[in-house]
Chains A and B, each alone.
Chain A
Amino acid sequence: MLSFYAVAQPPRRDTRADTAIRSVQLDEAVVAGKLATTLLQQQPYAIDVVDVGAIRGQNAALNRLLDRVPGVRVRETGGLGSDASYTIHGLSGKSVKFFIDGIPAEQLGGAFGISNFPVNTVERIEVYKGVVPVHLSSDALGGAINIVTRQDPQPYLDLSYAYGSFNTHRAAVSGKWYHTASGFTVQGNAFFNRSDNDYRVWGTGVEVADVTGRPIPGFSARRFNDDYTSYLLRTEIGVAGKRWADKLLFGTSLSSIDRGIQTGRTMAFVFGSVRYDEQTVMPSLTYAKTGLLRGKLDVEIYGSYSHVEGHTLDTSSVKYNWEGRGISTGVHGEMGGIYAQKSSYRFRDGTALWRALVTYRPSERQLLRLAYNSQALSRRGSDALALAEWTIPLRFPQHLYKQVAGVAYELNHGPFKHILAAKYYHYRGRSNAYDYVDTDQRELIPVHRAAQDWGLSYAGRAMLASGTLLKASAEQTMRMPDPVELFGDGTSILNAPGLQPERSFNANAAVQHHFLLGGDMLSIMGGLFFRDTKDLIWLGEGTHLGTARYENLSRIRTVGTEASATYHLAQLLEITTNATYQDIRNRQRYTAAGTPNLVYNDRLRNMPSFLASGEVRIKSTGGLLDAGAASLYLSTHYVPEYYLWWPSLGTPSLKTTIPAQFVQDVGVSYRLKRLPCQLTADCHNLFNRQVYDNYLLQKPGRFISMKINYQLTSK
């Protein structure tokens, strides 16, 4: 359930004493956050926790925080609001599921995109690598990312505004208020994001010809149709703290996206006026009660219905180049290359989601958890112009129904903890293909798909007397195609009706230890991971029309290792570093036709094998102004160059690569003592490097921003 919060109560006149109390409370919240983080990291799962509460003042996008987690790779196609894909231990795309407070985020619409979330609305991010706990009852394959929103027990109000390069504005407000006697609760959240995203791009794909047809040397351009605006308004009203319900909340979400589509699958396909907008309305109901049956039973039920309406508009009669100048007139749309046709494609998704979670504790050492998740999506498409061939299969109804049921048994036995779980997956989908059957003409073909399977998992932990923590986990799991994978995105991703579910055996092992050195602490972690994945779903490379579609890769195997270390020097200095090495191989020995596969055992193309990041943070409790607290951080992120195509084919020195990324961020924040206010300045990509996560899709250069965050918390 989302916990975004409306205005609490009028701010009272500040006094030094009140401010001090609030400061203490804030510190307590930070400590509580750290405690929750520590407890989670001691779970048997391969889990990393980002304690966002501790860096709430930063103007950091959640994507960047995730990108610093060992074994996690975030790949963005551009600036604010751009598409992003996430990789955990070599499994990527929709294999990695997102949850917001345990609710699958996929039905919430694009405005709920992870990069949109203001950090000051988030408590922590839980990254499950491999085995996903039953209470996140979905069909995640490579891991799950659960964003836990603020769970402040007391009423509060949090306001923030940030302004940055490329005319980027980010404003957020969240709050919570309740009436102690009646339990009446109002909580809400709203945010607004806007950016021109007009950052400079250059190089391959961003070229303009001179009179001889040759590229003009040194040409660079600003993106000119990449603006992005989104907002979200979320409220929940109900009661809390009653005998019959810990909470019963009715929620409503409204969100909207409006953005330009600047390019196709590479920057060589530049669009000057293609637009996409999306609106989402989602009512929801949350009920939770703990402590039933003499404190042994907890029940949580969530239901929602979301209506998402997306619209792609491509009606230009002009084709543009990177100067923003029309180079051809009288054309019929920009997308679709040579087969371009004007389109005004609109889709309407209706998604009903139910989730039930029951937790039973027969004894202090045992726990039984049952979870059920059902999701039914129906998509209807239309095209007012009905000219573009690519929209033909999308104009007709498509359906997707998924359900996941799980049961888990937990046993605590001295220093040991075991979790054994089973999940049942069922999926049924209907989509449309526009293709040849037995004739010389293409026709609309309804494609029905259904699958079901069982998954099993085990996760164990041992806490040795020395304080060393040992973990091991393994699972056999399955993931069903997502709506975007099956139906496309209405812009550059086409539908893929033939997609099969992907299956994987995942295993992790890790060791953690904390060294206490006087007032300092050194924490180290080392881990191994293994994945054996069949029918991996991944986004194929773009076609010459600038579009792409998801496809199955029959078998890959991943073996990797990761290590991280954190050093706290008293309360003044914190240094963190991590590195991940992953060896991902194509294990399809024979092609579908039974012939030897030329790229058998080749490293997976378009996937890095090494990731590393580090951060140094210096804190000061006594500042120059107002004697507040200040902190300074410097972080760096490194991904070496990797090949776009299969590494074994072609002359190595002449192969197409995604260049190495070595990016530094720096920031300083200052928390005033007299006011519950924090000021932050950040600079991302300090040295303005040309960076890519995807082939020929350049990301923004140096991004400077300022943020002010105002927090009021009731005693």
Chain B
Amino acid sequence: MIPFNTTMQRFRKRTAMGMLAMTVMTIMACTVSCNKDDSGTPPPASEQYYTLAAWADEPQYLASAPSLTEGTLSFVGNGLEAEGSRYLWHKNYVYLMNLPQKRFIQYELGTDGSITEKAYILTDGVVPNYFQSLNVVDDNTLLVLGAVDGNRGTAGWARIKVPEFEVVDKGTLEVPFDEANPGVEFFVGRGYADNGHFILGGYFYDNASGAYASDGVKALVYDYPAMTNMRVIQTDVTSGGIGYDYLSSLDTDEAGNHYFVASAGKYWTGNGGNSGIVRIKKGETQFDPDYFFDVTSQVGRAACLMGINYVGDGIAFGTVQYEELMTHVRDRLQNVGQVVKLDLVNKIATVMNTPLSPVAMVRSPLVQDGKYYTALCIADGEAALYEFDPSGGADSFKKGLALDAGGWVQVQLIAPHPAN
């Protein structure tokens, strides 16, 4: 018979060991609470995929779909998380400015629908905050610009070689600033390089009065690639900012002429004047004095033109937001926007009979094969991509890919993958 003391000692030992084991096992057994299932449902086979970036609750998601014209895209269990508000699509890549990480990220779009983060650039080497303006200056070069201390006379820029995604040159450039009126800041917008010059849009904001400060329409002209010798060019056809930085506010036609969106709305870079399109002809460094496409007058309802995408043969599609329906700038995310067809040659605007939505906030719509694609994400309603045919009239559009986002989604970018 085993003595009682020995039994107790064994029991104590076992209990102690058991407790130790329990501690270890409890911890080891619970190794993962995030069940990292990376199998993901692969998108169905397609000849060409498309990446969509969208807000769906928080943050934003990048996901691909096999078609723009049919099916449903959901971010449930699908997509890359992204935190940014500046997107650029160029060739087989999407570029994203991730704000909380201060990273400018390059994603490669695969023929199989994949979206792969390839590399990133830190903004700190160029500007202290983030790249505000993302521009393609030629097939192999991006030019990014960002504020240096609220653009008090200086902005930062970097030229990035792509697809290698390396900064090859960087510096600062002068932007308008009046020491006598220091509350007025210039915010850099979109720009383009042409004939040895870089022509930059933007807008002025008066911090003292809390309102946009517009006096005519201004663009900045620099020597390119030096980014020096700033000159301000101006037209007084209306009064507002041009080339808003994160919207599709600048495009070029077949002849190489450049069209800037001039937004003169009181809720968008202006003071409530007429909005429309201004032109700078190919190779020139002055606004075309004979060209102003007054969209507001034709569309009515205090429509403020927000973006354009050139389709071809003098036709572009654009978006307006009706300031009559707005009481402050936050209303831009309500159902106040509509798509318009713009005949740039004859200066005729046709309001498409689409439902009202925040469509003007789609930052990077797509033109492909002569069609225009954007997203109508009706606030508190359904969300879908729409295809617009420039050859038809106000009803020449059709609903395509639906977005399953539970009532609130905002598409930011539509970008094609390379075709199989």
Contacts and interface: CB of A to CB of B under 8 A. Distances in A.
B113 to A, nearest CB: 12
Contacts of A608: 33
B122 A612 contact: no
B173 interface: no
Given A338-B150, A575-B16, A641 B34 contact: yes
Contact of B33 (A436, A641, A645, A648): A641
A648 B130 CA distance: 29
Interface stretch (B70-78, B213-221, B361-369): B70-78
Given A567-B15, A652-B40, A641 B407 contact: no
B166 A440 contact: no
B408 to A, nearest CB: 6
Contact of B147 (A338, A638, A653): A338
Interface residues of A, number: 89
B57 A650 contact: no
B197 to A, nearest CB: 25
B406 interface: yes
Contact of B36 (A269, A331, A652): A652
Contact of B380 (A443, A518, A593): A593
Given A439-B328, A567-B19, A654-B38, A595 B380 contact: yes
Contact of B79 (A205, A650, A662): A650
Given A214-B119, A599-B57, A638 B30 contact: yes
B267 interface: yes
Contacts of B166: 212-214
Interface stretch (B203-211, B308-316, B412-420): B203-211
A340 B80 contact: no
Nearest to A389: B207
A594 B407 CA distance: 9
Contact of A599 (B80, B83, B380, B406): B406
A542 B100 contact: yes
A330 B182 CA distance: 14
Contacts of B22: 565, 577
B56 A649 contact: yes
Interface in B28-87: 30-38, 40, 56-59, 61, 75-81, 83, 85
A638 B27 contact: yes
A598 B407 contact: yes
A610 B129 CA distance: 36
A321 B124 contact: yes
Interface string A556-575: 00000000010101000101
Contacts of A646: 57-58
A527 to B, nearest CB: 15
Interface in A200-224: 204-205, 207-215
Contacts of A208: 122, 124-125
Contact of B102 (A268, A440, A647, A651): A268
A610 B37 contact: no
Contact of B34 (A340, A596, A638, A655): A655
B40 A651 contact: yes
A215 B122 contact: yes
B76 A614 contact: no
Nearest to A337: B129
Given A266-B101, A328-B128, A573-B16, A579 B26 contact: yes
Interface in A305-327: 319, 321, 327
Nearest to B30: A610
Chain A binding surface SS class? loop
Interface in A582-606: 590-591, 593-600
Contacts of A265: 100
A331 B148 contact: yes
Contacts of B96: none
Nearest to B209: A441
A519 B79 CA distance: 59
B329 interface: yes
Contact of A612 (B26, B81, B100): B26
B186 to A, nearest CB: 13
Contacts of B329: 436, 440
A652 B76 CA distance: 10
Contacts of A596: 406-407
A612 B130 contact: no
B76 A648 contact: yes
Which of A338, A569, A646, A647 gathers most chain B CB within 10 Å? A338
A441 B167 contact: no
A437 interface: yes
B12 interface: yes
Interface string B103-121: 0100000000000000111
Interface of A: 204-205, 207-215, 265-266, 268-269, 319, 321, 327-328, 330-332, 337-341, 389, 436-443, 517-518, 520, 522, 541-544, 565, 567, 569, 573, 575, 577, 579, 590-591, 593-600, 608-610, 612, 614, 616, 636, 638, 640-643, 645-657, 660, 662, 696
Closest 3 CB pairs of A and B: A598-B406, A595-B407, A653-B38
Given A440-B328, A598-B57, 9 more contacts: A328-B128, A517-B8, A520-B15, A567-B19, A577-B19, A614-B27, A640-B33, A647-B34, A649-B81
